[in-house]
Structure 1
Amino acid sequence: VQLDDDVYPSDALLSAMAAAVASEAHTHGQGFYGLYGPEQRSCTAAGYGFAEGPGDGNYNIVLTSVAAMRLELAKRFAAAFYSSYAPLVNATHGNGEDICFADFVRRSGGQCVRVLANYTHMPDALGHSGGGVFSLKPEHMFVRKLECSCLAQQQELGMALLDCVWDGFQRATPNSSLSIF
């Protein structure tokens, strides 16, 4: 189970996620990997947004503020991270790490699955640097839209993925003071 420090999950949510992971091989087969959590978003070529459920052929992501998966999936993602996603995640200070994880799940033949149960999110919590929550910055959602668009185009990963996001950012905001770095 992955748990951010600004989230307080209910016992029901933790139990539901654990049950989903425990029944995964029986429900979907041994080679299936899922990412389970309560917060789901749409991440497609059209961009990034809120999603109440799967629809219209869009693949959805589960935010990793509260998420569960089999240990094998976490190990496989860690092994692929540096060559596939690290350039982008490092350049954006972690913005989109959940999008990258969901992309890895999708490319591995798995899927993100919403698990419904209560939790508390504390959006006003200060980050470790005392500078506030990154998700409240004006470029946060725009960068996520670019990440989704680039991944949906089946871009190569690694530096090619970072270049795609950076090029899109530069084209859309040529005279802006916003920065993703």
Structure 2
Amino acid sequence: MTLTPPYRIRPLDGQAEHDALGARITAWRRERRLPSASIRPILDALRDEREMAVLVDTDNDAFVGCLQLHRAPLPTPPWTTAEDAQPTLVLSCAATAPGAGYRLGWLLTTWARHYAALCGHTRVACAVPLSSDHDTTAQRLLSHLVDGCGWDHLRTADTATGTAALLTAAACRTEGLDAFLATKVPVQPAERETVS
């Protein structure tokens, strides 16, 4: 007998799903008492129907998390030319439902690293916006991602929108991931630039 994993990750399907996820994420942010400005990039991505991988509960098909996938080269600055030359799957607009399940951030990170390896990327990367040195919400998130989800804090850098902590993690396949997660996101090979 094959057990159904508790979660499924898949692409969003059409504007109605993008709108529904936007409403859910807005509610999640309110429940967590996060600043309203923190949701703007996610709502912009959903409005434009950018590539989003959504995590759903297999029992009720409810949204419990999401990630935006960027397959284009890293924006420079703040990334260096050498960093930009590595095949990297960039993640942004991550959100999880409060109280929806145990370690959803770790599960999304593990899936992203596995998926990046399947696509031929060497790593995953993301940036955590920091509004100030005393931004306790961002600092808590940064600590959670590094200590609880296995990200490496590369450095803090100035970006077009302010200061951000740049995080990376090696792409790697994860044995046994299918016990937690069914994947429905199509594998798209990483585009590699040729050096002349």
TM-score (norm 2): 0.30
Higher relative contact order (CA 8 A, sep 6+): 1
Q: Which has the higher strand share?
A: 2
Q: As a proportion of its length, which structure holds more helix?
A: 1
TM-score by length of 1: 0.32
